[in-house]
Structure formats: C-alpha cells, structure tokens
Amino acid sequence: MTDHYLTLKQVSVRRHQSLLLSGIDLRVSKNEFVGVIGPNGAGKTTLLNVIAGFEKFSGALSLFGEAQTWRRPRQTRLRVGYVPQLLQIDPGFPILARQAVMTGAVGRLGLFRKPGKQEYENTLRLMDMMRVAHLADRPLGQLSGGERQKVSLARAIVQKPDLLLLDEPTANLDIAVQKEVLKLIDEISEREALTILFVTHDFNMLPERMRRAVMLKGGLKVFDGKISAALTGNELSRVFEYPLETFERNGKRFICYG
C-alpha cells in the first residue's frame, strides 16, 4: 500500500442538500501525473479541496501511507503543494512577486526563523525557471494573469512538496500563455519528480507528460484510465454531454465540437 501516495476510499462531500462528490475511489502512485477532467459542477475542485485538506468529507483518505482527515499535521501539509485557479489579489496589495513566492517557504521554515540565503536562492532559481525572475521586485497585484500564475507555480514548488495540486491553472489565460504555462508544468514534472493532480475542464489544453485521466461527472467518477483512452469522441461526448469528435494530424490528436 505504501507505494500509493494518495488513496481515497468512498469519499463523499455533502453541502446543504446536494452531494458534491459521491463515493470516489482513487489511487495515485508516486510520480504519476493525473488529469482530473470533467464539465463544470462535476466535483473536480471539490476533490482537489478534499485532498488539499480544505474541505470536510466522509470516507477514508490517506496521504503518503497515513490516514488523514481535513485537519492534518503541519508535516503532511508541507508535502502537498497547491496552486489555485487564479491568484486573486488587489492591485495595491503590499506584496512583491518574490515575497509572494517566498510565502511558500514560510511553513517549512517554522516559527521564529527567518528565511536564509538558501531560501532566497531557491526563490530566485524557481522564479527564473518560471521565467518571472525579471518581475521579482514588481508588486504582485500589477502582474498580468499569466505572470501571476507563474509566480503561483513557483510559490508552490518553493514549498518542496511531494504532491502538487493544480486547480485549473490555465483558466482565464489567453492561448499563448496557456501553452506557456502548460510547458512550465511539464518542466516542473520532469525536473522536480513530483506527483501531480491537474484539474481542468479543457481537454484541449493538457500538459504532455500527463499520462492518466480521471473523469468526473455530477460528483461521480466515470472514467479512470490512460489519457489516450479518455480523449476519444465517445468518452468525451458521454462525460461532457455534447457531441465531440477527435481526429489526428501530424501525430497530434485534436478534438472538435460542432
């Protein structure tokens, strides 16, 4: 069992009268790159929130071989990085981009310890890797959506997590920036040896290193398998309840809708 980084057994989330997630079973091994795909309201973000420890749930969840509830020890939280959909911030908020990245290291440092040379170097290295080193001294609120998303990725990695949760990291970005962020995520996956869960509703915008897809619909898991098996007209049409077709050109698969 210990080779499973993340195990969910019959995990459900109920809010008011509705069931947001219903009896989800999921096992993710070390270094897997899993896409969580589904339409709006499928429960993707709720699933991510359960794994991140933001949401109460029923059922059993274990992380790194240990059973967890939504309240969890600091040591476990340190091992789970989280990138929200959009880093919401006021334009005037008093934080610079590099300080925002550094916030990822604060939990690991612990109380009463100041960030040292290592943390500063790490911050700049990751900002460089995310191509935002030149924005280090710019107020975060002044950066564009794409730049903020790259800062957000660097912030999550500076925490040195083993499991990285990405909640629609490319939503609201224009197409060129989406591609750039996906490439950076591929780069992260390659260089940092991480287990990644990537939530998205956009099946046309997936990182190349994603091998496995879990599809949700109405709070239920309706598909779990290879990404190539998920991205077929039949499967996608069933999950998204919309006629979709796939075709290949130059070895690449395209999905089109009528």
Partner 1 sequence: MVESILQTLSYAPIQRALAACILCGASCALLSVFVVLMKMPLIGVSMSHAAFAGAVLGMLLDINPFVSGFILCLLTAAVLGPLSDRADMAPENLLGILFSFLMGVAFLGMGILTQTKAGALNLMWGSLLTLSNNDLYVLALVTLVLTVFIVLFFKEIRVVLFSRRLAASSGVPERVIYYILLFMTGAVVSSNLATVGGLLIFALLVQPGAVALQLTYNLKSFFLISAATGILACFLGLVASYVFDIPSGASVVLAATVLFALAFVFSPKRRVVRPIERKIQDENDRR
Taking the C-alpha atoms of residue 201 and residue 244, their distance in angstroms, rounded to an integer, is 14
At its nearest, how many Å lie between partner 1 and the CB of residue 92? 5
Q: What is the total residue count of the chain? A: 258
> In angstroms, what CA-CA distances link 80 with 126, 134, 162, 176, 199?
17, 27, 6, 28, 15
CB 236 within 8 A of CB 222: no
**Min. distance of Cβ 48 from partner 1 in angstroms?**
11
Output the CA angle 37-153-87, nearest 5 degrees.
80
Catalog residues that contact partner 1 under the rule CB under 8 A: 15-16, 52-55, 74-75, 77-78, 80-82, 84, 87-89, 91-96, 99-100, 103-109, 111-112, 114-115, 134-135, 137-139, 155, 159
Instruction: Considering only the C-alpha atoms of the chain, give the largest distance between any 2 of them, rounded to a whole number of Å.
Output: 58
* Choice between 118 and 250, CB closer to partner 1: 118
Whichever of 96 and 205 has its CB closer to partner 1, that residue is 96
Amino acid letter, 225: G
Closest distance to partner 1 from the beta carbon of 208 (Å) = 26
Nearer to partner 1, 39 or 84 (CB): 84
Q: What is the spatial distance between Cα 247 and Cα 204, in angstroms, rounded to a whole number? A: 12
- Across-strand partners of 68? 61
Taking the least distance from each CB to partner 1, the nearer of 112 and 258 is 112
* Share of the chain residues as helix, strand and coil, in percent rounded to the nearest 5: 35, 30, 35
Measured from the CB of residue 222, what is the shortest distance to partner 1 in angstroms?
A: 25
Shortest approach of partner 1 to residue 23 CB, angstroms? 21
> Whose Cβ is closer to partner 1: residue 141's or residue 207's?
141
The answer to whether the beta carbons of residues 162 and 66 sit under 8 Å apart is no
Pick 145 or 233: Cβ nearer partner 1:
145
* Shortest distance (Å) from residue 32 CB to partner 1: 20
